[in-house]
Structure 1
Amino acid sequence: MIVLPTAVRETILERAREGDPDEICGVLGGEYEPDGESRVRSQYPAENVAATPRTRYEIDPEDQLAIFDRLEDRGEEIVGFYHSHPRGPPRPSATDAAQAAWPDRSYVIVSLEPFEVGSWRWQADGTDGEFERERVVVD
């Protein structure tokens, strides 16, 4: 389960609307529990540097490291990541699964059409893995 504060949810939704038709992305910080409830405290927006930002997202590695440093400075852990699907379903695509690299972390996806917020945890076993849907609690 992931607990997402209303203010963070609204900020991500606004970014998704403003970024349309491109996908937006960022990092979620807070309290991470690998087998239980993770609590988001903040979101860290990142520029989508994918070659095809309308259908893919990619966080610049240097930007990602800077965000990780900010998280650490604030005493937060990496809860997971978020991105939008402006015209797609709020579930991970095959590309999302192929690029997932953080086992047990949450991947929050915002769909604008239809409007929905979903979250999945990446469950990896060696080089293979799959997304498992997790409950989103808005707090």
Structure 2
Amino acid sequence: MLVLPAAVRDEIVDQARDGVPLEICGVLGGEYESNGRSEVRSQYPAENVADRPRTRYRIDPEDQLAIFDRLEARGEEIVGFYHSHPQGPPHPSETDTAEATWPDRSYVIVSLDPFEIGSWRWREDDEFEREDVAVE
């Protein structure tokens, strides 16, 4: 389960709407627990530097490292990542699955059409499992 504060959810949704027609992306910080429950405290937007940002997302490696440094300085852990699907479903695409690299972390996907927020955890066996999201 992913615990997501309503304010963080709203920020991510606003970013997704403002980013149309491109996918937006970022990192989720907070308290990561390997037992399947993590709590988000903050979100860190990142520039989407994918070669086709309408249908893909990629966080610049240097930007990602800077975000990780900010997380650590605030005493947070990497809970997961988020991105949007402006015109796609709220589940991982084949590309999302192929490029996932953080086992057991949450991958939040904001679908705008139709509107829905889904969260998935990538397992080392190359499988994504849908997880519940508790908005508080």
After TM superposition, the score normalised by the length of structure 1 is 0.97
Find the aligned partners of 2:79 and 2:10 in 1 and give their Cα distance.
Answer: 18
Match of 1:3 in 2: 3
Question: Percent same amino acid at aligned positions?
Answer: 76
List gaps (5 residues or longer) in structure 2.
none
Find the aligned partners of 1:76 and 1:131 in 2 and give their Cα distance.
Answer: 24
Find the aligned partners of 2:117 and 2:28 in 1 and give their Cα distance.
Answer: 14
Match of 2:132, as an amino acid?
R
- Tell me the SS of whatever aligns to 2:96: helix
Shift of residue 47, structure 1, vs aligned partner? 0.1
RMSD between aligned residues? 0.5
Quick check: 1:134 aligned with 2:95? no
In the comparison of the two structures, how many residue pairs are matched? Answer: 136
Deviations 1:1-26 (A, max 9, x none): 00000000000000000000000000
Find the aligned partners of 2:117 and 2:36 in 1 and give their Cα distance.
Answer: 20
Shift of residue 35, structure 1, vs aligned partner? 1.7
List gaps (5 residues or longer) in structure 1.
none
Matches within 5 A, 1:1-139: 1-125=1-125, 129-139=126-136
Match of 1:60, as an amino acid?
D
Find the aligned partners of 1:138 and 1:74 in 2 and give their Cα distance.
Answer: 22
